[in-house]
Structure formats: C-alpha cells, structure tokens
Structure 1
Amino acid sequence: MNDPSTERLYHRAARPPWREILSHRWSGTRDWSLVLRDADGDYFLLGVPGEPEEAGAYVPPPDEAAAPGLGGDYAEVFRVDVTEHEDTQAVGLPTVYGRESVDLWVAWWVRDPVRVVRTRTLHGWHMVRTHLTSSLHHLAEAQAASGNGLGAPEIMQYLGAPQHLEETGLSYRVLDVRLRDTGEELRLGQDEGDGVRYSWTTSRRGEYEFCLQALRAGPASLAALWLLRHPDQVRQVLDWAVDHETLLTPARTDWQEELASLLGTLTDQERKEISYLLRDRISALGRPVPGVPL
C-alpha cells in the first residue's frame, strides 16, 4: 500500500539530460519513464507509458510526445514512476440488513507521463480517489433512478474496466470489493428506511428466492436456517422445537370428524338422498341393513 502523503509520481533528475537518456536506454526498465522539456517548452518522452497488461487492450495516450535525442537542448529532465499502485476506498452500501461496509481495492497508474509532469500531478491517489468518489455517486444516482440497487456486481461491471483521467494523465480500475469491519467510509445511496427497493440488486434475486422458499416451507425450515447461521445455538433451537412441537408437526385430521362436519351442513333432503345411496351400497355388500329384506 502506498502512502499518498509522501509518494511522488515524478522527480527532477540531477544528472545531465544525455546521461539520463543513456541510463534509461541501457537499463531497459519499465518501472519509470523519462520526460524531458526543452527551452521552447516542448516535451519529449522516453519509455512506455504505464498500462497493465490485464487492464485490457492498450490505447495510446493523447498527444503522444516524440522521443528525445542525445544532442537535444533540454532544460529539465524528470523521472516518472509508471508502475501500478494499489489503494483502497472504504464504501458503505445500502442493503435490507443495513449498511454493508466494504473496501474497494483500486489499481491506478500513470498512463500519460508527459501529462502528469505538465499538470504537476505529484500525488496520484488523491486525484484518483476524487474521480472514483464522483463516479460512485453518479453510479448510485443512476441505479436509484432506474429502480435498481447498487452492490459489488454493479460496481465491478461499471468500474472494473480502466477509467482514464485525461486531464491529469492517470488511469485506474476497481480490482475487487471486499467486506470490511470498521473505519471511515464513503456512504452511498439511501438507508433502509428510505426504501427497500434500493437494497435489492439483480445479484440478490437468488437470495430473495431462497428466503421465500424457506418461509413457505414453514417453521421447521426457518429453524434449520437459523441453526445454519448460528451453529453455536443448537441447545436453544432444540428447546424451542420442544416447546413449539405443534408448529413443527402437521396437525392430524380425523376423516370421521370431517365427514360428520360435512353432513351437518347438508339439508334434510340431501341427507335423505345420501342415506338411500349408503343403504343400497351396504346392502350390495351383503351386510344387513335395517328395513331392507335379505
């Protein structure tokens, strides 16, 4: 992790320009680039601009400077750090369970060394964090306006690709979204009390369906789910199951009681017709029926 208060993206070289040019060419390094400025204010670049291979296809930065020559008349020489840096931004995401604290792991790098020197961007993480904060707020507002929530999948979808800060020559992308415990964080969206619709994202539909099935399955399913989330409370769950046996055991039905209840709702004529049908059926089985000769 870098300390943004002390990390500098470029340093003014003390050696003569020609020696810096030869040093860079002989070293073959990709960790730093050489930016030179002549007396007329024109800039020259020696070295490949920083662009991590896994960040995607390389896109040349705008206004790409020409390579310097050994015989040039240069007034200033700068060594620019073009390695990839990693920092984190704490974010609070709204969910139906309350605020979810996460860390956004961010990779950032110098995409245009000349632009960094020209704009005197000494500390890159401050610029990246400012742009990231603005992007997150815009993303949260757009998701809310469309009736969707903002979670880790949405952040990775929109900010996982390289984001270019053309005005300063920097680029960044979100590498990962991880849960965190405590600390200062950027709060996005609205709290649960302002509306549940901001909390349910597309990625949580499966979680919703699972909870719905657990509720439909009844108290036994909910008790098992509780025990799964709290395995240290086996005794409490067992005590609850014993005290609420009627909830966990389906009620037994007595067909005779149900039939008697049904007959009680019939009219006299309906009961008489059923008694005739029942008498004929019993008689056909060879059983003696009162009033019917064998």
Structure 2
Amino acid sequence: MSDEAAERLYHRSVRPPWREIISHRWSSATDWSLVLKDEAGDYFLLGRRGDPDDTGAHVSVPEEAAAPGLGGDYTDAFRVDATEHVDTRAVGLPTVYGTESVDLWVSWWVHDPVRVVRTKTVHGWHVVRTHLTSVLHHLAEAQAVAGSGLGAPEIMQYLSGPQRLEEVGLSYRVFDVRLRESGEELRLGQEEGEGVRYSWTASRRGEYEFCLQALQAGPVSLAALWLLRHPDQVRQVLDWAVDHQDLLSPPRTDWQEELAGLLGTLTDQERKEISYLLRDRISALGRPVPGGPL
C-alpha cells in the first residue's frame, strides 16, 4: 500500500540535468522516468509512458514531450515514479440483506510522466481515489435508474479495464473485489448521511440466521426481536400485543371438546359400540367401570 505522507510521484533532482540524462541511459531504469524542462518552458521525456504491461502504444504522445538531448538548455530535471501501485477502497454495496462491505483492490500508475509534472500531481492515490469515488456514485445511480443492483460483477465489468485521468497523466483499474470485516467505507445506494445499521459481512451471516429462526418461530419471536432492537418502543410493542392477541396466543381446542364434538356426529349404534370398547379398555387398566354401557 502507498503512504501519501511518505511517497511522492516525482521529485526535482539536485543534480545537473545532463548528469540525470546520462544516469538514466546508463542504468536502463524501468522504475522511474526522467522529465526535463528548458528555459522556454518546454518539457522533454526520457523513459517509458503507458501501462505497466504494454509498450504505451495506446497512450497518446504529447508534442511537448520530445526526447531530450545532452546539448539541450535544461533548467530542471524531475524523476517520476514509473512503478505500479496497489491500494484499496472500502465500499458498502447495497443488497436485499443490508450493506455488503467489500474492499476494491485498485492498481494505479503514471501513464504520462510529463503531465504529472506539469499539473504538479505529487500524491497520486488521492487523485485516483477521488475519481474512483465519483465513478462509483455515477455507476450506482445508473444501475438504480436501470432497475439493477450494483455488485462486484458490475464493478469488475466497468472498472477492470484501465481508467484514464488524462488531465493528470494517471491511470487505474480495479482488479479484485473482496469481502471486508470492518472499517470506514463508501456506502452506495443511499442518501447522504443515511446510516445502514448492519452490514452484510461474514460476521453478519450468523445474525441473519438468527433473524431467520425468529421469523420461523412466529409473531412472538418477532415482537421480542423488535423490542430488543428498539427498547425505547416498549409502549408501542405492548399496544400491538394487546391488539393482536389472536396472533400471539392462537385459540386452542380442548381434547375433551374435540371428543365430545366427534361423538355428537355418531349414530346411537356407533356410540353404543364405542361405549363397550371404552369400558373394556378401562377395565383392562384396572379402573372401576359402571355395570352397563357408558
């Protein structure tokens, strides 16, 4: 990870420009590029431009960045970082279960050293992070308008390729989306300042299972769970319980009433046969029984 307080994308060399030109050519350096400025304010580039994994064929070459020569009248020389950097952006993605907390793993680099120096872009991750945040907000809004959600597949679809910040000479891409446990994050799909109480992370899945069991257990468990989450609403819960006794205490039929109702549907002959069967069964249990039919 880069530390903006300690890392700079470029620094002005204290050595004469001609010595920097010789040093770069002799070293065949690939981790830094040399940008020179002459008295007329024109810039010259010695080194590579473009993406880390290509030759820069897809990046336009500005006319003011011609190759320098030893005989040029240069006033300043700048060493520009040409390495690839990796940082993460914490994001909260909206789901039907709540907010899914993820880390976006971002690779970023300088594709145009001259523009980095011209715009005085010293700390690149701040610029990349700001642009990425704006892109994610626009993407979330576009997905919402289209009636679709924004998840890892959509982010990788739109942001896995190089994203150019031409005005400052930087590029970046999102190369992975991973679940995270905690920390500050950019929450998408909600109004500014609106909090999401629970995040859909690995640690929240146990809570989801608990809520699922409470739902299956019925209204009593749900009322208790609501009171647990909102202890200041005791009066509302009590009022609801009084008004919904049929849900909290469903009516139960006594077995004697059920049996009496069943016997009432039988004919006299059927009741007489049932009476003899019951008398024999009670007698077998050692209980006293009447002499005649029950």
Aligned equivalent of 1:291: none
The answer to whether 1:51 aligns with 2:22 is: no
Residue 130 of structure 1 and its aligned partner are, at CA, apart by: 0.4
Tell me which residue corresponds to 2:60: 61
Show the counterpart of 1:205: none
Equivalent residue, structure 1, for 2:8: 8
**How big is the alpha-carbon RMSD for the aligned residues of Structure 1 and Structure 2?**
1.9
Contact 2:13 2:78 (8 Å CA) reproduced: yes
* Kept after mapping to 2: 8 A contact 1:82/1:109: yes
Counterparts of residues 1-294 of structure 1 (less than 5 Å): 1-53=1-53, 58-64=57-63, 65-190=65-190
- The question of whether the paired residues in 2 share the 8 Å contact of 1:106 and 1:175 is answered with yes
Does structure 1 conserve the Cα–Cα contact (< 8 Å) formed by 2:48 and 2:56?
no
Give, as a single letter, the amino acid of the residue that structure 2 aligns with 1:73: D
Shift of 1:5: 2.3
Could you give the per-residue CA deviations for residues 147-184 of structure 1, whole angstroms, max 9, x where no partner exists? 00000000000000000001100000001000000000
Structure 1 stretches (4+) deviating beyond 2 angstroms?
A: none
Q: Which residue of 1 aligns with 2:279?
A: none
| Deviation of 1:113 (Å) | 0.2
SS of the aligned residue for 2:45 comes to strand
Give the AA of the match of 1:123: H
Query: How far has the Cα of 1:137 moved from its partner?
Result: 0.3
1:186 Cα deviation from its structure 2 partner: 0.2
TM superposition shift of 1:73? 0.4
Amino acid at match of 1:42: D
Identity of aligned residues (%): 73
Asked if structure 2 preserves the Cα contact closer than 8 Å seen for 1:8 and 1:122, the reply is yes
Contact 1:50 1:83 in 2 (8 A): no
Aligned length: 192
Deviation at 1:62, TM superposition (A): 4.5
- Tell me if structure 2 keeps the 8 A contact 1:61–1:111: no
Q: How much has 1:190 moved relative to structure 2?
A: 3.4
